[in-house]
Amino acid sequence: MRDESVLKKFSALYVEDNKLMRDSIGRIIRRRFGEVYIAENGKEGLELYIKYKPNIVITDVEMPVMDGITMIKKIRAVKETQSIIITTAYEDDEHTDSSCVNLIKPVEAERLIDAIFECLGCGR
Amino acid sequence: MKRIGVRLTLGYVSILLILGCIIIFSIYRVNYQRTLNEKMRNHPFAVTRAIMNINMKLTDLHQGIHYLIRADDRIVIDESIAKITEADYEICSNFSLLSERFLGDKKLLSDAINAYQIYKHTNNEIIRLKKAGDKIDEDILISTEQQTDDIKQSMKKMSDFALYKYEYYLNELSHVRNNTINYLYLLFIIAIIVCSILSYIITRSIVVPVSSLITASQEISKGNLDCLVAINSYDELGQLENIFDKMVKNLKGLHDELKLHSEIIKNMSEGIALIRVADGIIVYSNPKFDKMFGYDTKELYGKHVSILNAPTDTSPEEVSEKIISSLHSKGMWEGEVYNIKKDGTLFWCNASVAEFDHQEYGHVWVSIHTDISKRKETERLFYYYMDNIDAYVYIKDTDSNYIFINKKTEELFNITREDLKIRKYTDYDFFDKEMAKQLIANDLHIMKLGKNMDIDEVGTVEGYQNTILQSGYRYYLALKFPYYNETGNVIGVCGFSYDITERKNLETALRKQEETIRNMLNILPVGIWIQDKEGKITQANPIAQEIWSGVKYVGVEQFGEYNAWRTTDGKKIEAEEWTGARAILKGETTINEELEIECFDGTHKIILCSSIPLRDVNNEIYGVVSCNQDITDLKNTEKKLRIERDKLTTILDIMNAGIYIVNKNYNVEYVNPLLTREIGENDNKLCFNYMYGKTEPCPWCKLKEVISGETVHWYWHYDKLNKTYQRYDAPIKSEDGSISKIAIFHDITELLNLQKTLKRELDFQTAFAKISEALLDSKLNRYDISKIVYEEALGLTNSSHGYVSIIEESSGDNVAVNLTDMMDKSCAVAKAEQTVRFPRGPHGYNALWGHSLNTGEAFYTNTPSKHPAFMKCTPTGHASIARFLSVPALIGNKVTGQIALANPVNDYTDSDLEIVKRLASIYAIALERKRMEEEIIELNIGLAQKISAEIKMRMHNEQLLIQQTKMATMGEMLNSIAHQWRQPLNAINIVVYDIKDAQDYGELTSEYLNNSAKTIVEQTDFMSKTIDDFRNFMRPSKEKAMFELKSVITQLISMFSPFFIKNSISINLISADEEFNVYGYANEFKHVVLNLTNNSRDAILLRREKGIKDIKDRVDISICRDNGKTIVSISDTGAGIPEDIIDKVFDSHFTTKSADKGTGIGLYMSKTIIESNMGWKLTVRNIDGGAEFRIEI
């Protein structure tokens, strides 16, 4: 069992349009991270990102107002090495880029946390 | 500064201001000195005086004290006391003055006062003591002394201060005075300088322009008008300069004008002279005047004016007197004077004289003379001319007042021209009221029209007081015309009136005579023309006008206007060639010259034209009478007849028929060229002789029947020419009334031949038709065909025997199934079998029958025994062969059969051979076809079996394909379900994890758990609903029912949109906000729409594969109504369908996709469902940037 308390010194941005997912996963992340910022769409997410510069960004792809890909592009314009976890419903490679990890929906919480660790390079 | 006043005022005010300043300064300084004086008086003087007073009084007081002290006596005491009191009073008042005026240290004063108070107190003590009679202590005296000194001491100090102050003031005063004087000097100097400068500037600004004005004025006075003053300012002087300049300009203008006038006067065409009123002496004359009178320049100066007047009835002096008296009374005179030149020539002048005051000459007459000699002469000429005209000449003004009448009119009106100047005369003065009114009306009319006018005016029977028209009607021919002034306005009317009464009477008599003649001419049935002496046409009677459709009353030289041609030679009649012209010019009489004329309406007529010159007693020609007779109708009839005759002859000549006429005596009267060409010239032969060279009538002659009135229609074969004619023999009336025969021959030989050929051709066609029919009949075989050919061949050639055979392929034998019954019973060929086999030998076929088979050539012979192939081997009983014809049936070079014929009535001809050859060629084809047909039938049987097997296999494949399609749809469905479930499954997963997580973090409560459970139930419900939707979708519709297109499509989109979104394709429903209810199988419809949208998606992906990606791809499903139909259109932004395959996309098994992607059954099934099951229509077309499927409901 890894020590999840190391995450407490990190901050995270979670962007998801589905309320149920946002609430549930939001809770799970919030329990572990020091600071968690939650947004409903890419636009909000970008604003929060610029404001708080979180250590990790977890985002859905298909969202209203601004989709995840656009948001990621803009975030990368700000910080190229930003660690990002993408949760996507599609199994294709379309959304894959240099961002840290692609998670295929359905997102399992365990896998998400694994991905977080992987991205932050905290090891197991 | 604009105005001098302002400028001056400012200058003066400045000077006054400077002076004022000096005065104020002086006053101020004086005042200051006075103040200082005042101060001196107030303080040092007053204080010094007061101190002196105090000191003096103090001395008095002190003395009084002393007296008092020493006094014994009461009186003395009292006196002393009074003295003391008085002194005290004085001292006190001086102290009070001091306290007012003293400016120094107030302590000094108070010290002095205090000292005095002490002293006073001591004094008072002394007084009290003395009054009391007490003894006064010596010490007191000493103290008083002491006190007095103190006071004096204090006073001294004050006095010193006052003195000091005095000195100070004095110094100040002298200092101030000195300063003041110095300042004043300085100020005066400055003031004088400033004032001088100001004065200079102001004075200069006035003096400069004034002096320039003065200079200019001097120049002008010298006569130089070109000098102008430069304007430098806008003040009064500037204005003055401006006005001055204007004045100069005006003056210059006037000067120039004067010069001009002077030039004008010198050069003007009127002569001008100034005559002194006082003595009538000429003082000035212009060059024209001198010239007019023939004097040298200035020669007339000083001469009396009467030298100019011509000596007429009245002496020059008298004329002068008359003018002068008029001038005296009226101030001017104008009129015409008869003058004399220096050389004595007399001439008329128009002179106008006016009085004028001349600066130099005093009272003068200005006389302007114009030489009017020419005008006078013209006037005289005019009057002379007018007076000698034998007509009434007059001019009236616009009010019809006479302003001129000639002598004859003067006589008529019994007035003179001079009378017209005395009073106004109008026509009312000379004619009766009605007449005058009419005349004036005429005048007004002319003036109004502005045109010349000829008017017949009739005088009345009434008498006139002052005319010579005393009785009876008088006729006048008046020529009146408007009288224009130079500007072109009508100012009156001019008139000439001739008395034409006599002429009128004569005319009336003549007119009557003429009328009689005219009436006579009018009733003549021919056209009559009358020419006058000059040859001019003066009359044409109605018939003449009718002939020509009009008339032109012209002279000989214009006779050319009458167009005519001589009928004899067609030559145009020139003007002088007319009979009338010749009559008048040469005195020729012409009778009935025939002419073709062109009437004035353009029609052509033939006339007979005659002319006779009319001669008077002296045999002089005074006119011509011409006569025209219209013979057009006559001529036309004649012409028509001739034409008809010519026509008939032409017809007879050119007719493609022979015609001849024979009379009852067999004499040939006419033979037309055609018949002449065929039979030969007829040299008065009798008909039978001509035709046949016979000596008696032919037995078939129809002459008798024809003569009796019958028309015979018959055919005649003319042996001589071997021609057959169709003949019409008809009676014809001769000139003498007897009946002849006209026979029309129509050569029908060719026709008959043609008919024969045609019949054969028709028979051949019939044969061909029969063969064709047989060929198509599958029941008939080759031998049936040969039988038909056999019958037709016999018929076509009129042969009595023959056979038609087929070469048996296996043996090469010639087998005839059909043959005529030409053999006897003894013949070896059995009739019953109707089959005969001609065997093929090793060297081909035998005898005459085999010849054509051997050679492959058709032939005939009418003498078979002489034919090289004749073998004399006819079987026993065989009919003898008289004529023989044989034709092989060939396919290429291969002989497949034969037609053999024999023994017709007549010989065989080439045409027989030809027709049989044609028949044989058809026979060959027919045989070949039949043979092939038989082969095909055999083949077909095998083929049918193969096909049915193939069909079975295909149907099986189709089943498989449909199954595959269904499976593919199922797969798609499963994908959809999987996608739809992914979200809820994920949610459940997360919620479950969250429960565990909450527990780990100690957050789990029963409420938390309840919420989570609720969420999970919601998700599973959603999943359950999804699976229901898909199950419904998969279930085939049981029966047709109403469904709503929009809701169905919306549902479909919600189920399958993820597959489009996944590929970044938007799928949209576009429709109006209304319901589209249709009747059909809803689920099947959904399948079709799904199929089509999938197709669209594939098309888009295909296009992307080709590399075209920068398009916002979309699939639009639109519902609309069009012409009562509901249209569901599925359009995409895909690759479109290539035009070469667009017609095939709905075909079964047609696909452009690779085998793993498409079965080619989808669109086929869609079309089947829509069109066969629902009865709707499914079409496809390419649209701009994609394809569109349309379902028409």
pLDDT tens for residues B408-432?
888 877 888 888 888 888 888 887 7
CB < 8 Å to A31, chain B: 997, 1001, 1003
Q: Where are the beta strands (DSSP E) in B681-823?
A: 712-718, 723-733, 739-747, 799-807, 814-819
Q: Do B983 and A110 touch (CB under 8 A)?
A: no
CA dihedral B786, B789, B791, B797 (to 10 degrees): -140
Residues B626, B584: Cα–Cα separation, whole Å? 11
pLDDT attached to residue B1: 47
Q: Are B456 and B499 in contact (CB under 8 A)?
A: no
The amino acid occupying position A112 is L
| pLDDT of res. A123 | 44
pLDDT digits (tens, 9 = 90+) for B850-860: 888 888 888 88
**Best mutation target, B985, B988, B994, B1020, to test chain A (most A CBs within 10 A):** B994
Question: Who's near B346: CB < 8 A, 6+ residues apart?
Answer: B310, B338, B339, B340
> Which tokens in the block code for residue B539?
């009359």
Task: Dump pLDDT digits (tens) for B1020-1043.
Answer: 888 888 888 877 777 777 778 888
Residues of B in contact with A18 (CB under 8 A): 983, 987
Chain B within 8 Å of A21 (Cβ-Cβ)? yes
Given CB atoms, is A113 within the 8 Å cutoff of chain B? no
Q: A109 CB near a chain B CB, below 8 Å?
A: yes
Beta-strand pair A56-60/A11-15: parallel
Q: Which of B987, B997, B1062 sits opposite A90 (nearest CB)?
A: B1062
| Nearest-CB residue to A107 (from B979, B986, B997) | B986
A76 vs B872: which has the higher pLDDT: A76
A110/B979 CB distance under 8 A: no
What is the reported pLDDT for B833?
55
Q: Is the pLDDT of residue B825 over 60?
A: no
Please state which of the ranges B16-30, B197-211, B1152-1166 shows the lowest mean pLDDT. Answer: B1152-1166
State the amino acid at position B678 in one-letter form: E
- CB A20 to CB B1015 under 8 A? yes
Instruction: With CB atoms and an 8 Å threshold, state whether B993 touches A109.
Output: yes
Contact of B735 with B729, CB cutoff 8 Å: no
Residue B289: is it exposed, middle or buried by C-beta count within 10 angstroms (0-12/13-18/19+)?
Answer: buried
Confidence of residue A38 (pLDDT cuts 50, 70, 90): very high
Cα distance between residue B640 and residue B644, in whole Å: 6
Q: How far is B983 from chain A, CA to nearest CA, in Å?
A: 7
Q: How wide is the angle at C-alpha B714 spanned by C-alphas B710 and B715, nearest 5°?
A: 160
Out of A28, A90, A106, name the one closest to residue B986 (CB): A106
Classify residue B875 by its DSSP letter: P
**What is the overall mean pLDDT for chain A?**
81
Select from B536, B518, B541 the least CA-distant residue to B627.
B541
Over residues B227-281, the pLDDT tens digits come to 777 777 777 778 888 888 888 888 888 888 888 888 887 777 788 888 888 888 8
Quickly tell me which residue has 């056209």 as its tokens.
B527
Predicted local distance difference test score (pLDDT) of residue B830: 45
Q: Is B771 exposed, middle or buried (0-12, 13-18, 19+ CB in 10 A)?
A: buried
From residue B614, alpha-carbon distances to B543, B545, B580, B939 in Å are 21, 22, 11, 120
**Cα distance from A94 to chain B (closest Cα, Å)?**
10
CB contact under 8 A, A109 and B990: yes
Q: How far is the alpha carbon of A23 from chain B, nearest alpha carbon, in Å?
A: 10
Distance of CA B928 to the CA centre of its chain: 79
Chain CA centroid to CA B699, Å: 94
Q: Which residue of A has its CA nearest to B1003?
A: A31
Tell me the range of A96-110, B310-324, B723-737 where mean pLDDT is highest: B723-737
Q: Check B994 against A107: CB less than 8 A apart.
A: no
Q: Do A31 and B997 touch (CB under 8 A)?
A: yes
Nearest C-alpha in B relative to A27 = B994
Whether residue A88 is predicted with pLDDT greater than 50 in this model: the reply is yes
CB B85 within 8 A of CB B38: no
Cross-sheet strand order for the sheet of B402-405: B402-405, B392-397, B490-499, B475-484, B453-458
The DSSP code sequence of B112-155 is HHHHHHHHHHHHHHHHHHHHHTPPPPHHHHHHHHHHHHHHHHHH
The pairing of strands B894-904 and B799-807 is antiparallel
Taking 80 as the threshold, does the pLDDT of residue B656 lie above it? no
Instruction: Give A103 to chain B, closest Cα distance, Å.
Output: 12
b/e sequence B525-564, b meaning 16+ C-beta within 10 Å:
ebbbbbbbeebbbebbbebbeebbeebeebebeebbebeb
- Identify all chain B residues contacting A109, using CB atoms and an 8 Å cutoff: 989-990, 993-994, 997
Tell me the pLDDT tens digit for each residue of B921-965: 888 888 888 888 877 877 887 788 888 888 888 777 766 766 776
Report the alpha-carbon distance of residue B1176 to residue B1167 in Å, rounded.
Answer: 9
Distance of CA A123 to the CA centre of its chain: 18
Lookup: tokens for A69: 């890909």
Identify the closest residue of chain A to B1014 by CA–CA distance. A20
> How does residue B504 score in pLDDT terms, banded at 50, 70 and 90?
confident
Rounded Cα distance, B1151 and B1138, in Å: 12
Cβ-Cβ contacts under 8 Å for B495 (sequence gap 6 or more): B392, B393, B394, B395, B396, B443, B478, B479, B480, B481
Asked whether the beta carbons of residue A18 and residue B998 sit closer than 8 angstroms, the reply is: no
**Strands (DSSP E) found in B567-699:** 590-598, 604-615, 621-630, 658-662, 668-671
| A11-15 and A35-39 beta bridge pairing | parallel
Amino acid at B226: D
Predicted pLDDT at A89 = 64
User: Residue B465's pLDDT is what?
Assistant: 43
Nearest in space to B80 (alpha carbons), one of B67, B89, B90 = B67
Whether residue A90 is predicted with pLDDT greater than 70 in this model: the reply is: no
Distance separating alpha carbons of residues B142 and B147, to the nearest angstrom: 9
- Residue A62 contacts B where some CB pair is shorter than 8 Å: yes
CA angle B1182, B1186, B1188 (to 5 degrees): 55
**Among B982, B983, B993, beta carbon nearest to A28:** B993
Do B672 and B648 touch, CB atoms closer than 8 A?
no
- Note the pTM of the prediction, 2 decimals: 0.31
Is the bond preceding residue A106 a cis peptide, omega within 30 degrees? yes
Residues counted in chain B: 1193
> What ipTM did this prediction achieve?
0.84
Mutate to test the interface with A, among B990, B1018, B1020, B1059 (most CBs of A within 10 A): B990
Using one digit for the tens of pLDDT, what is the confidence trace for B1044-1058? 888 888 888 888 887
Question: Where does the pLDDT of residue A37 fall: very low under 50, low under 70, confident under 90, or very high at 90 and above?
Answer: very high
